[in-house]
Amino acid sequence: MARLGEIAMPRGRIRTPAFMAVGTAATVKAMYPDQVYDLGCDIVLGNTYHLMLRPGAEQVAALGGLHKFMQWPHPILTDSGGFQVMSLAKLRKISENGVEFQSHIDGTKHMLSPERSMEIQGLLGSDIQMIFDECAPYPCSHVDAEHSMELSLCWAERSKQAFTGNSGQALFGIVQGSVYKDLRDRSAERLIDIGFNGYAVGGLAVGEGQEIMLEMLDHTLPQLPIDKPRYLMGVGTPNDILESVARGIDMFDCVMPTRSGRHGQAFSRFGKINLSNARHANDPRPIDEQSHCPAARDYSRAYLHHLVKSKEYLSAMLISWINLSYYQELMAGIRLSIAENRFEEFAEQTKSGWAKGDIAPHS
Q: What is the DSSP letter of 300?
A: B
Distances (CA, A) of 302 to 185, 279, 285: 52, 9, 8
Within 10 Å of residue 358's Cβ, how many Cβ atoms?
A: 22
Annotated catalytic residue within 79, 133, 288, 358: 79
> Which residues lie closer than 8 Å to 348 by C-beta, 6 or more apart?
none
Beta bridge partners of 286: 300
Name the catalytic one among 127, 253, 288, 358.
253
Catalytic residue flag (residue 79): yes
CA–CA separation, 242 vs 252, rounded Å? 11
> Are 134 and 148 in contact, with CB atoms under 8 Å apart?
yes
| Amino acid letter, 119 | E
Beta strand residue intervals within the chain, DSSP E: 5-9, 12-16, 18-22, 44-47, 76-79, 90-94, 99-102, 109-112, 128-130, 170-175, 198-201, 230-232, 251-253, 265-268, 271-274
What gap in Å lies between CA 347 and CA 245, rounded to an integer? 10
Catalytic residues: 79, 253
